[in-house]
Chains A and B, each alone.
Chain A
Amino acid sequence: MIVLIILAFIIMLAINLPSLIKSRDYKLIIIYGCFYTASFALSLLLAMNVKLPSILEMADSLFKTLKLSY
C-alpha cells in the first residue's frame, strides 16, 4: 500500500511539476509544494495505520461540553 502511495505521488509530481516550472510562478510552486507535502505525509501516515486526530470529533466534544447539542 505504501509503495502504491509513493508511486501515485511520483506520478502526480510528474504530471504537475513540468508545467509549474515552465510557468515560473514561484508562489504557485510554493503553494503546490505545501499541499503536496501535506497530502503525501498524511497519506503515508494513514497507510501505516497511524491514528490521525479528527477535527470533527474534537468539535463534537467541544459542542457537547458547551451544551450545544441535542
Chain B
Amino acid sequence: MTIENSRISAGQFMFSIACFLHSSSLLTSFFVIITRNESWMPFVASIIICIPLIVSYVLLSKSYPGMNLIQINEAVFGRVAGKIVSALYVWFFFTLTSLNIRDLGTFVNKTTMVKTPISIIIILFLLLCVWSSYYGLEVVTRYSIVFLIISCVILFISIIAVYDLIELDNFLPMFDMPLNNYVQVSHIASTIPFGETVIFLMVTPYVDNAPKNLMRYFLGGFLLGSILILIVILRDISVLGNTIQYFSLPSFEVFRLGTLFQTISHMEIMFSILLIVLLYFKISVLFYVTMLAIAQLLNIRSYRPILLPCAALVVVYAFTAFKDVITHTKTAQETTPFFWTLFEILLPVLTLIVSFVKKKAKNKNNRKAVSK
C-alpha cells in the first residue's frame, strides 16, 4: 500500500540529510561541557564510528527495495513482532519531533522573542510543519539545497568575522581528560545527531534511482553534514577555548563576538535566523516521517486527516518530556545515548542480521527444491 506518491531526487535526499545534520549544531552544547576544547577529537571519532552504521542502514534499505522501515520490520520480524518494533520506532520519531520542537521554542524564546510564550512559538512552527507535511515529501525536502547553501554562506561569513579572534592555542592542552569523557562524547555524538539519520530509512523508497546510488548519496549527505558541524565546533573552540563550557549556546556567543569591516558587529541574529531555518527543516522532516510511520503502522490510506491531532500530541509531549532544560541536558549527557542506541544501532543491525539469515535460509531451501 503506497501512502506517499511523490518522489525526490537523489540530490534532494543527500542535501536533506546534510541539512538535517547541520541543524544539530545547536546540540553541540550537550557535549562541549564534557570535553571542552578537546570536543573535536571525540566528534571526529564518532564520524568514523558512524560510517559503518550508515552503511548498515543502506544495506538494510537495499535488501528490501521499495520498502520503508515499517514495511521492512513487518517483512523481517513477521506481522505481530514487526508491528511491535514499528510501534517503538513511531514512539522514537514522535519523541525526536517533540524534543526538537521544544529546543526550537526555547531557543527562539531565549534569544529573539523573549516576551512571547513558548507555547505560541511551538504551535506556530508546528502549524507550518503540518502545512508542509500535508503536501508530501517533495514539498518538505524541496528547499534543503537552498537552506544548506545559506547555512554554508553564513558559516563562511562567521569565520571571516571572527578570524582575528581565532587562537590555535585554544586547542591546547590535548588528551588532558579521563578516557571516559572522550568515550562519553563519542557516544553522545554518535546517537545525537548522527544516529538520528535512521529516520531517512522511511524516505529511501521514494528516492529516484534508489537503490542504485543510495550508498553514495546517504554517505555523501552524512559526511557533508558532519563536516559542517565539525567546522562549527572547530570555530567555536578556536575562539572561545576552555570558556566554551560556560555557554549554553557557544556558536551564539561566537557570532556575538565577531565583527565585519570594523562596523558590522553583534551578528548573532544571523545565527538565530540560520538555526531557526535549519531546525524548522529538521522538525518538518521528523514530523513528516512520524506521520508516514503512523499511517504505515495502522495501515491507513492517508496520514493527512490525522496531521492536526498528532501535532497537538507533539505539543503536549514537548511540554511534558522534561520539566526543564537542565534536566533535558543532563539526561542527554547521561542516559539518552544508551536509550537511543536501542533504536539507532541495535534494532537496525538486528533487523539486518535477521534479514540476511532469513534470505540465506530461503536460498538454501530454493536450492534444495531445485535439486529435487
Contact = CB atoms under 8 A, between A and B. Distances in A.
Interchain residue pairs A-B with the least CB separation, the first 9: A39-B312, A35-B309, A63-B335, A42-B316, A68-B338, A69-B335, A52-B320, A69-B334, A39-B309
Interface string B277-295: 0000000000000000000
Interface in A32-65: 32, 35-36, 38-40, 42-43, 46, 52-57, 59-60, 63-64
B85 interface: no
B321 interface: yes
Contacts of A59: 335, 339
B149 interface: no
B320 A60 contact: no
Contacts, number: 84
B135 to A, nearest CB: 16
Contact of A39 (B310, B320, B322): B310
A28 interface: yes
Nearest to B327: A57
B300 interface: yes
Contacts of A32: 305-306, 309
Interface of A: 8-9, 12, 15-16, 19-20, 25, 27-28, 31-32, 35-36, 38-40, 42-43, 46, 52-57, 59-60, 63-64, 68-70
A32 B298 CA distance: 11
A68 B335 CA distance: 7
B301 interface: yes
18 contacts: A16-B305, A16-B308, A25-B300, A31-B298, A31-B300, A35-B306, A38-B313, A39-B310, A42-B316, A46-B320, A53-B320, A56-B95, A57-B322, A59-B335, A63-B338, A68-B338, A69-B334, A70-B337
Given A28-B305, A54-B322, A57-B331, 17 more contacts: A16-B308, A28-B301, A31-B298, A31-B300, A31-B306, A32-B306, A39-B312, A42-B316, A46-B319, A46-B320, A54-B321, A60-B331, A63-B339, A64-B334, A68-B335, A68-B338, A70-B180
Contacts of A55: 95, 321
B248 interface: no
B316 A52 contact: yes
Nearest to A36: B309
A70 B300 contact: no
Contacts of B320: 46, 52-54
A27 B339 contact: no
B7 to A, nearest CB: 25
Contact of B308 (A12, A31, A64, A69): A12
Interface in B158-191: 180, 184, 187
Contacts of B115: none
Nearest to A63: B335
B212 interface: no
Nearest to A15: B308
Contacts of B321: 54-56
Contact of B335 (A25, A31, A46, A64): A64
Contact of B313 (A15, A27, A42): A42
B368 interface: no
A47 to B, nearest CB: 10
Contacts of A70: 180, 184, 187, 333-335, 337
